[in-house]
């Protein structure tokens, strides 16, 4: 589903990604770990083209990100085509980014109605079902400011799921939450993984990664240091850098 | 002062004393009450002296306050205000979006627009549009340097005083409104745009559905100001005889020389209209304040009376039900 080969990205003179190789198959859950500033968010944002990679190859579902392939040439996509590609990729942010002027229900309905053109009644039923799935059926009419952080994040997950994505990206979804609220969000994500959703998750929740992930990737300073079975990478890593990081996080 | 700490914890404020809470006496602001009485007395004196002043010609004021000519002018002033604000807002929003665009040509053109229309006096712009016929006798639309024309008309028949007034006020307003809208757009967190984009919303849809509604909260108060300003600035178009309230008032005192009474008539009407304009602003602020913890403020009258003696000025707060 996600194929990265030597993906590079720089901001000004700062080389943030120095050639990332990564493959996530359909139905797999990949957890990205690494110290702050190692480029995890940047890589995730490249996958749905919020950030443009400057080098290497990056494909999602067989298509090059940001381009249309014709023979051996890549044609840069127009605004409309970029937006169309993003429909298939859901993203959940560290700071939720719910739309504050819309209720939980309206947040979830917005994209299906305005982007896909789904009928309101149908979108409403779908949205209510998704809110039930994340355990918030009784909060449909609340504005984000009236919800706790954990509830907001679960609405954000429902909002991303409303577009029926093939791939879900999570950027530290529980880092802004109080410890007792983390569990609810992780439960929802675990449920998604069990339903076979392909997921790339940036997280510091080692327990979650060990239990749910099919693939653990440890990044540092813009390169993948170590990757593979989480029970190996996160329990008895081969690389010294991974070991040092894990001893600090655990 | 009563002691406010109780055995049960935090004291309540005037919600009616709970059985175990002692009665609480709020701070009394005697100075505020005295000042209020003094101010009312002074105002009453001023009004009384104005009422008895023969030079004000209250009979003239009374005669013209509801005259047909004044009503005609009022109608013109009102539609001119509404039309110029609409033009200004629509064009201003467009200019604001263009100024934030990455396209250097669009950015340059929109910046040039703001520079010109904000950088020259409104009075000059009004006179310019009013006398544009002297600059170009005909307007035509065609392909430059080829002699091909699709449309041609006499400037003076096209740019009537009303149209000239509308163009001058609307374009000038657009320059100012664009800056207000731009500040509003920039006040919205970029995370909102990213979230919308990640859902597959295109930039234009994101702007319309996500960013602008949130920007409104920042945009409306200064825009209310702009509308009030516009209402009064329409008086300037009297220089090109656009038959607004001020033009008609000037026509009258040009003939009967009752300058001060006629200006009082005009002022009373402007004051009345401005007061009316504050109502929709309050309503709009409430509408676009949805979803924010702090709700709309209490009505001005309640604030005026509520806080006279007891310290806190009354404020309603929408308490988020958890
Ligand atoms: N838009 C930007 N402009 C300039 N530098 C940036 C930008 N975004 C990220 N960076 C830099 O790129 C580096 C990697 O950032 P990134 O957000 O990908 O790290 P991260 O691994 O997600 O870290 P964290 O765990 O703190 O979220 C950082 O040094 C950051 O300062
Ligand atoms: Mg990050």
Structure confidence by residue, pLDDT tens digits, B151-168: 888 888 888 888 999 999
- Cα A157 to Cα A170: distance, rounded to the nearest angstrom: 9
% of chain B with per-residue pLDDT over 70: 84
B137-147 average pLDDT score: 80
Centre a 10 Å sphere on the Cβ of residue B252 and count the other Cβ atoms it contains: 21
Q: Find residues 175-234 of chain A whose CB sits inside 8 Å of chain B.
A: none
Q: Under an 8 A CB cutoff, do A48 and B198 touch?
A: yes
Counts for chain B of helices (H) and strands (E), in that order: 14, 2
* Residue tagged 């004044």 (tokens): B70
Q: If DSSP codes are grouped into helix, strand and coil, which group holds residue A15? A: strand
pLDDT at residue B300 greater than cutoff 70: no
pTM of this prediction? 0.81
Structure confidence by residue, pLDDT tens digits, A76-111: 999 899 999 999 999 999 999 999 999 999 999 999
Residue B318: the pLDDT is 43
Q: How far is the CA of A35 from the centre of ligand 2 (A)?
A: 9
A67-75 average pLDDT score: 88
Q: pLDDT-based confidence at B119, cuts 50/70/90? A: very high
Select from A20, A40, A221 the residue to mutate for testing ligand 1; criterion: most ligand atoms less than 8 Å from CB. Answer: A40
- Cα B291 to Cα A100: distance, rounded to the nearest angstrom: 6
Tokens of B285: 């602020």
Q: pLDDT-based confidence at B132, cuts 50/70/90? A: confident
Q: Which of A35-39, B117-121, B214-218, B291-295 has the lowest mean pLDDT?
A: B291-295
Q: pLDDT-based confidence at B1, cuts 50/70/90? A: very low
- Cα B147 to Cα B155: distance, rounded to the nearest angstrom: 19
Residue B213: the pLDDT is 94
Contact (Cβ atoms closer than 8 angstroms) between residue B296 and residue B285: yes
* Residue tagged 């979830």 (tokens): A108
Centre a 10 Å sphere on the Cβ of residue B51 and count the other Cβ atoms it contains: 9
Structure confidence by residue, pLDDT tens digits, B170-213: 999 999 999 999 999 999 999 999 999 999 999 999 999 999 99
DSSP of B216-255: HHHHHHHHHHHHHHHHHHGGGGGGGT---HHHHHHHHHHH
Structure confidence by residue, pLDDT tens digits, B249-271: 999 998 988 899 999 999 999 99
pLDDT at residue B11 greater than cutoff 80: no
User: Three-state secondary structure along A24-36?
Assistant: ECCCCEEEEECCC
With a CB cutoff of 8 Å and minimum separation 6, the contacts of A94 are A171, A172, A173, A175, A176
Residue B239: the pLDDT is 86
Q: How far is the CA of A222 from the centre of ligand 2 (A)?
A: 12
Structure confidence by residue, pLDDT tens digits, B36-73: 999 999 999 999 988 888 888 888 888 888 888 889 99
Beta bridge partners of B148: B143
Residue A146 forms contact with B (CB below 8 Å): yes
A29-35 average pLDDT score: 94
Chain B residue with minimal CA distance to A108?
Answer: B199
Ion ligand 2 residues within 5 Å by Cβ: A 41
Contact (Cβ atoms closer than 8 angstroms) between residue B315 and residue B307: no
Who wins on pLDDT, B248 or B302? B248
Residue A141 forms contact with B (CB below 8 Å): no
Residue B315: the pLDDT is 43
Contact (Cβ atoms closer than 8 angstroms) between residue A141 and residue A128: no
Mean pLDDT rounded to a whole number for chain B: 84
Contact (Cβ atoms closer than 8 angstroms) between residue B24 and residue B10: no
Chain CA centroid to CA A75, Å: 26
Residue B209: the pLDDT is 95
Among B128, B113, B232, B107, CA closest to B177: B113
Contact (Cβ atoms closer than 8 angstroms) between residue A173 and residue A189: yes
Among B95, B55, B62, B103, CA closest to B180: B95
Dihedral sign from CA coordinates of A46, A52, A58, A59: positive
Extended strands (E) in B66-211: 138-143, 148-154
Residue B313: the pLDDT is 47
Contact (Cβ atoms closer than 8 angstroms) between residue A172 and residue A153: no
pLDDT at residue B31 greater than cutoff 50: yes
Chain A residue with minimal CA distance to B290?
Answer: A101
Indicate the domain borders of chain B. Answer: 69-249
Fold of B69-249: MetI-like fold (1.10.3720)
* Residue tagged 């819309």 (tokens): A102
Among B230, B229, B223, B226, CA closest to B284: B223
Mean pLDDT rounded to a whole number for chain A: 93
% of chain A with per-residue pLDDT over 70: 100
Q: pLDDT-based confidence at B6, cuts 50/70/90? A: very low
Residue A117 forms contact with B (CB below 8 Å): no
Structure confidence by residue, pLDDT tens digits, B82-108: 999 999 999 999 999 999 988 899 999
Q: pLDDT-based confidence at B306, cuts 50/70/90? A: low
Q: Which residues form the pocket of ligand 1, taking CB atoms under 6 Å from any ligand atom? A: A 11, 14, 16, 34, 36-42
Residue A119 forms contact with B (CB below 8 Å): no
- Could you give the domains of chain A? 2-247 (3.40.50.300)
């Amino acid at each position: 589903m996600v194929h990265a080969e030597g993906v590079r990205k720089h901001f000004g003179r700062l080389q943030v990604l120095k050639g990332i190789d990564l493959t996530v198959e359909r139905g797999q859950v990949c957890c990205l770990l690494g110290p702050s500033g190692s480029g995890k968010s940047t890589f995730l944002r490249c996958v749905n083209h919020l950030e443009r990679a400057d080098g290497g190859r990056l494909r999602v579902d067989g298509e090059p990100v940001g381009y249309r392939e014709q023979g051996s040439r890549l044609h840069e996509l127009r605004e409309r085509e970029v937006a169309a590609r993003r429909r298939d990729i859901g993203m959940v942010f560290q700071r939720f980014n719910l739309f504050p002027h819309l209720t939980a229900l309206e947040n979830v309905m917005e994209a299906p109605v305005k982007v896909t053109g789904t009928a309101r009644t149908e979108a409403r039923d779908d949205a209510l079902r998704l809110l039930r799935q994340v355990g918030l059926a009784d909060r449909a009419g609340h504005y984000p400011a009236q919800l706790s952080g954990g509830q907001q994040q679960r609405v954000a997950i429902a909002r991303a799921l409303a577009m029926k994505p093939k791939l879900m990206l999570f950027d530290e979804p529980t880092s802004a939450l109080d410890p007792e609220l983390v569990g609810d969000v992780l439960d929802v994500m675990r449920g998604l993984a069990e339903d076979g959703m392909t997921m790339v998750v940036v997280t510091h929740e080692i327990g979650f990664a060990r239990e749910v992930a099919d693939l653990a990737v440890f990044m540092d300073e813009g390169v993948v240091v170590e990757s593979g079975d989480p029970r190996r990478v996160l329990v008895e890593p081969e690389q010294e850098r991974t070991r040092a990081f894990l001893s600090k996080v655990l | 002062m009563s002691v406010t700490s109780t055995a049960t914890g935090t004291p309540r404020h005037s919600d009616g004393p709970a059985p175990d809470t002692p009665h609480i006496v709020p701070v009394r602001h005697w100075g505020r009450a005295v000042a209020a009485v003094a101010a009312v007395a002074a105002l009453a004196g001023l009004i009384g002296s104005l009422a008895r002043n023969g030079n004000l010609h209250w009979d003239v004021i009374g005669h013209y306050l509801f005259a047909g000519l004044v009503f005609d002018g009022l109608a013109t002033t009102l539609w001119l205000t509404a039309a110029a604000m609409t033009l200004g807002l629509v064009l201003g929003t467009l200019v604001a979006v263009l100024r934030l665009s990455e396209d250097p040509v669009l950015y340059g053109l929109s910046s040039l627009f703001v520079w010109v229309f904000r950088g020259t006096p409104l009075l000059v712009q009004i006179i310019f549009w009013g006398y544009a016929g002297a600059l170009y006798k005909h307007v035509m639309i065609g392909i430059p340097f080829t002699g091909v024309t699709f449309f041609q008309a006499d400037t003076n028949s096209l740019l009537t005083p009303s149209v000239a007034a509308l163009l001058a006020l609307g374009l000038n307003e657009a320059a100012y409104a664009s800056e207000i809208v731009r500040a509003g757009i920039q006040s919205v967190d970029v995370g909102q745009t990213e979230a919308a984009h990640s859902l597959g919303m295109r930039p234009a849809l994101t702007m319309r559905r996500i960013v602008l509604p949130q920007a409104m909260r920042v945009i409306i108060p200064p825009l209310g100001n702009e509308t009030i300003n516009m209402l009064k600035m329409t008086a300037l178009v009297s220089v090109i005889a656009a038959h607004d309230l001020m033009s008609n008032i000037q026509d009258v005192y040009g003939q009967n020389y009752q300058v001060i009474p006629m200006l009082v008539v005009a002022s009373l009407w402007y004051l009345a209209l401005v007061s009316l304009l504050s109502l929709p602003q309050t309503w709009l602020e409430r509408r676009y304040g949805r979803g924010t913890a702090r709700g709309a403020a209490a009505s001005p009258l309640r604030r005026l009376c509520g806080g006279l003696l007891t310290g806190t000025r009354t404020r309603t707060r929408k308490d988020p039900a958890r």
